[in-house]
Amino acid sequence: MTQEMKWIKAIKKKSSEQAANQLISKYYHEVFGFIYKQTLDRELTKDITQDIFISVLRTIHSFDGRASFRTWLYKIANSRLIDHYRSKYYKQNKKTEPIDEKTVYESIEFTIDVETKDEARKVLEVLARFDRELQQIVRLKIYGEYTFSEIAASLELPESTVKTKYYATIRKLKNILKGEWR
């Protein structure tokens, strides 16, 4: 039995705080990075990451070990992200600041960084319009850096189906974005 499974067993049977802390510590930075790549907001990422791990601990009794714990964790993380981008709060509170409130640096790197973040936010906004399964496939591939076979196992779909859905979604994203960026 792996150390990870021992921690999960201790959490399930004894509600072990120490085991929970160790399990969270093992995955915290990975999940934080996965979320941050998609929100580009540190405080929001902290909040969503915390929600993910609270959800993990509340529902760990339903983890049956058929898939790896990491796969199960990423399913929860994906669901939380999708819920966030579909939430009324997100739609009402898209962060924008007047330009004069920002200190604008005279560097090309700053401009590129801002453009990159704006483009990433736009891509994520458009992706949020797609159904949950397509969002999961794209998020796991791009932001989670999963392979197609790992995504297929995670979603219990044939690998060829995952590839087809991924490439079709990317094409749709590109077409939508081309139309909106003109």
Per-domain boundaries in the chain: 1-95, 98-182
**Sole residue written with tokens 């690998």:** 159
Predicted confidence at residue 121, as pLDDT, reads 78
Burial class (CB in 10 A: 0-12, 13-18, 19+), 63: middle
pLDDT of residue 178: 82
Neighbouring C-alpha atoms within 13 Å toward the C-beta of 77? 30
Looking up tokens 């969503």 gives 48
Residue-by-residue pLDDT tens, the chain, 182 positions = 689 899 999 999 989 999 999 999 999 999 999 999 888 889 999 999 999 999 999 999 999 888 889 989 999 998 898 888 777 655 555 544 444 434 434 333 444 444 566 777 788 888 888 998 999 898 888 888 889 998 998 888 999 999 999 999 999 988 888 876 55
- CATH for 1-95, among 1.10.1740.10, 3.40.50.1100, 1.20.140.10, 3.50.30.30? 1.10.1740.10
Asked if residues 82 and 143 have their Cβ atoms less than 8 Å apart, the reply is no
Q: What is the DSSP string of 26-80?
A: HHHHHHHHHHHHHH--HHHHHHHHHHHHHHHHHHGGG--SSS-HHHHHHHHHHHH
Res 97: pLDDT? 46
What pLDDT does 50 receive?
95
Report pLDDT for 180. Answer: 67
| Domain 98-182, CATH number (from 1.10.580.10, 1.10.287.3510, 1.20.120.80, 1.10.10.10) | 1.10.10.10
pLDDT for position 103: 41
Structure tokens at 174: 């590109």
